[in-house]
Chain A
Amino acid sequence: MSATAKRGIAIGLAVLLIVGIVFAIFGGRLFGASKSAGGGPLTVVTGVIGSEKAPFFADAGVKKIFASKGYDVEVTTAGSRQIATSVNLKGVDFVFPSSAPAAQKIKLETGASTTFAPFYSPMAIATFKPIVQLLSAAGIANQDATGTWHLDIAKYLQAVAAGTRWNQLPGAANLYNSSRSILISSTDIRQSNSAAMYLAIASYVANNDSVVDSQADEDALIDQAGSLFLEQGFSASSSEEPFDDYLSQGIGSKPMVMIYEAQFLGEEMSAQKSAITPDMVLMYPDPTVFSKHTVVPLTKAGTAIGQLLVDDPKLAKLEAIYGFRPANASVFKDALTEHKLAVPPLPVNVIDPPSYETLESMIEQISTRYDSPGASATPTPGTTTDPSPSPTPPQ
């Protein structure tokens, strides 16, 4: 079970944003009975955020801290791609996408003067002991001196390109005797940031270890990169779903899932009984990429929230308990130590994601390969159209 469900969140995943936002603004303001610490009414601040942060914002402790500062933060969720391209941001105080490229794009479009990056999370792979054993014997995964597992993405891409099946790996008969092709499960590339981050990693490696930044680069690798997503078959639109399946249905359903490190660590530190069992393994893609969760404030109140998320030590501690890595590394370390968990070393082989435009362009190309009209991402009703693209510097 996901941290989200455990913590009893009722935030929609594929939300009708407009309705949600309108309610948050008007419903919240009209009916907001909450009082600030000083007894005065709380200022309702509305945000549109990536779904993986919904549990954090719904946490009673987080709400309390915001209330003590006079704020009632109401959030609706949307995919980071959606936030950047299609969500109507009128009346919204801040947006909080899961990646720096998306934040840069929103900053340019909205004319926001500043951004806040209170925490980040490396992309990781949730997997199982028999899987790392198999991959390790095949030279595709390896364990470093700290005991941390890494997936060699170059070798992984070779195995996928060769159509290697799990049961073709030495030792599979006793460990994972599946005729399915070796493939990481991700979210739907057309909708979700975690899949886009996976594409950032795969495209970098497929592009001879360099960030994709030209049409020629894209053309050369798009077939290979596209197959990583198309061959999965159906994939969910939010990052929580494949991780949920990993936790509840296990190795037969999801031998490897691309996740944010925070999802796994957050589940381990869950206030309720953790769903992480001893045979589950947190592995890192090598190279990996950091998902920099970035606040783009659109109003003064939004700026205040961004500032609090960066500066408030109590909030930082809660961010860490949800598995995110706050700017201050010791907060993260302390949270894990308090929960009697090993502190995963910060991955060293970390790449930059491509620019927003390049990433979008690759995603668009892959999207066209889902040939059915019904399978294309549906725009949210009442959304603004995407203005002309403007260049964004790489992170």
Chain B
Amino acid sequence: MMHRRRIVVAAAAFAALAALLTGCVQSSSSSTTTSGGGLADGSTVLRVLAGSEVKDMLPILAQAEKAIGVKVELDYIGTLDGTEEVASGGAKGKYDATWFPNNRYLSLLPGASSAIGTSVKIMSSPVVFGLRQSVARKLGWDTKPPTWAELSAAASAGDFTYGMTNPAASNSGFSALVSVATALSGTGTSLTDADITTVTPQMATFFSGQKLTAGSSGFLADKFSADPTSVDGIINYESVLKGLKIKGEPISIITPTDGVVTSDYPLTLLNSASAAKKPLFTKLTNWLRTTKIQKEIATQTHRRPGVPGIYTGNEFPKTIAFETPFPNTLDVANTLIAVYLDAARPPAQTLFVLDTSGSMEGSRLESLQQALKNLAGADTSTTGSFAEFANRERVTLLPFNTKPGSPTTFDVPQDNKDAVLAQIRDYTDQLMADGNTDIYSTLKKAYGIALQQQTERPGTIVSIVLMTDGENNQGISESDFEKYFTSLGADGKAIPTYVVLFGDANVDELTKLATATGGTTFDALNGDLASAFQAIRGYQ
């Protein structure tokens, strides 16, 4: 978990796209991330701050050391989070280069464009649909790919459902959002603020088919792979979809005919890199662009070559993928995300199961209160506003200690949410810590409430957050809960629990629990609850 958010965000404009982040989300299982820790340097080492997407390049990069004597050290970070790091100057001295899915975000941020030097595009992958083949065939899309408007019509008619990552958290979700909004606006040119206002109702129609969300492209793909019947398909990088193994049925890749946004993976030298790193950078980029390596990239990572004229056989479709124009201002990007969250996406119903046992007394409780208040309007940065409880969202707070407490539900209205957010902040102030820790009875109760809310408001995205700082020592056991969960129908099993690991939480047990429910864990063991809560918002 990173702390850069505190350092940064002076100008509002700056915070804007930076706010797209949450790439700092890390489940405890992906322990490969060491961002911020600093990479070992050396005369043959190129230290690269990279999007988590390029993790699949490791085997190829390993060859580089043998072939050309350049050792590449990678730190992974979400694209947008990494952008913020570069723009704020945080990458200076720690890294020699960056490797994100694209540099467009970077270029929109003041300060960032002067921080980067030469960039060399290595490979590319458009953000497209992957649908179960039977669904694609039924809709005729396997032979005649649809427009975004046709996709929208089919989604609203209930002909298919899909998952997409949260555009405030993930590059693939944001890319899809740009494509769909631009296409539905029908102007044929780059999106403007005025277009977004006009197109909001059509966007809501399209997103009525969204049944699954996630904070990262990888998590979304894993989730679809684990339960391919939960939705009919997902929006993701072509490269991820081509590599996806789904039980029972192949995936049809559907490229909307009126435009997609392509990631072009520019390997980019930072201007702050020492002169000695430049030859390493040049050597590496030249090598990555050799025909042999370009072919390996295509076959191993399913990305399109960055070098023209590389023969890739039938790996990629011959049809033209039309590129959607990307917004040219931060303002348009921000408005688009805000409209998605507050008006276009299916509303969220989120339950927070909050440990208020005796061990939370003092600074831990204060951290929890602050983390919740940040989501209820206390964090006024643009970053914070994207994580804020959104219009139309239903928020239920369920505290527990020796026993489950009573739930309090807040319905954020469609328009002015200030009053309700103030109520949530007031409620938070009244939380008190005392007693034992009854995790599982409370979680069971939470599922009961969540199921009821799901019935009350169908078409919403329901999830549970469990925050605990200790071990279960009251009420039913973990295995009792597991039995209960297993007994639930498909509706209940579709509700994930995201676990915030805090204080002396039982990491192994809770990780198992999160995974079993289709959720994941968020590490706040270092005490940074606010960042964890903000990161979770990408998954709700």
Which A residues lie at the B interface, using CB under 8 A? 1, 5, 8-16, 19, 23, 27, 163, 165, 176-181, 183, 230-237, 244-245, 247-254, 273, 275, 277, 370-376, 378, 380-381
Contact = CB atoms under 8 A, between A and B. Distances in A.
A169 B147 CA distance: 19
A1 B307 contact: yes
Given A5-B120, A12-B269, A231 B289 contact: no
Given A10-B278, A16-B114, A23-B275, A233 B322 contact: no
B40 interface: no
A78 to B, nearest CB: 11
Interface residues of B, number: 60
Contact of A233 (B320, B325, B331): B325
7 smallest A-B Cβ distances: which pairs?
A: A233-B190, A233-B325, A12-B117, A372-B329, A181-B188, A231-B189, A234-B326
B274 to A, nearest CB: 10
B110 A370 contact: no
B190 A10 contact: no
A234 B308 contact: no
A16 B89 CA distance: 13
Contact of B107 (A236, A253, A372, A380): A236
A165 B189 CA distance: 9
B325 A16 contact: no
B326 to A, nearest CB: 4
Contacts of B258: 178-180
B362 interface: no
A275 B264 contact: no
Contacts of B64: none
A341 to B, nearest CB: 17
Given A10-B278, A244-B121, A230 B114 contact: no
A13 B113 CA distance: 10
Contact of A1 (B118, B282, B289): B289
B117 A15 contact: yes
B191 interface: yes
Interface centre among A14, A178, A234, A277 (most CB of B within 10 A): A234
Interface centre among B14, B275, B326, B328 (most CB of A within 10 A): B328
25 contacts: A5-B289, A9-B282, A12-B271, A14-B117, A14-B271, A16-B271, A232-B190, A232-B328, A237-B107, A245-B121, A245-B264, A248-B121, A248-B307, A254-B323, A275-B309, A372-B108, A372-B330, A372-B331, A374-B13, A374-B14, A374-B110, A374-B330, A376-B110, A378-B110, A378-B114
A273 to B, nearest CB: 7
B190 A11 contact: no
B325 A232 contact: yes
Given A5-B120, A179-B188, A372-B13, A275 B328 contact: no
A381 B286 CA distance: 31
B183 interface: yes
Interface string B106-144: 011111011011111100100000000000000000000
A380 B282 CA distance: 25
A250 B116 contact: no
Contacts of B329: 370-372, 374-375
B292 to A, nearest CB: 14
A275 B188 contact: no
B275 A378 contact: no
Contacts of A231: 189-190, 325
B449 interface: no
Contacts of A372: 13, 108, 329-332
A306 to B, nearest CB: 26
Contacts of B403: none
Given A179-B258, A373-B11, A375-B328, A10 B282 contact: yes
A385 B14 CA distance: 24
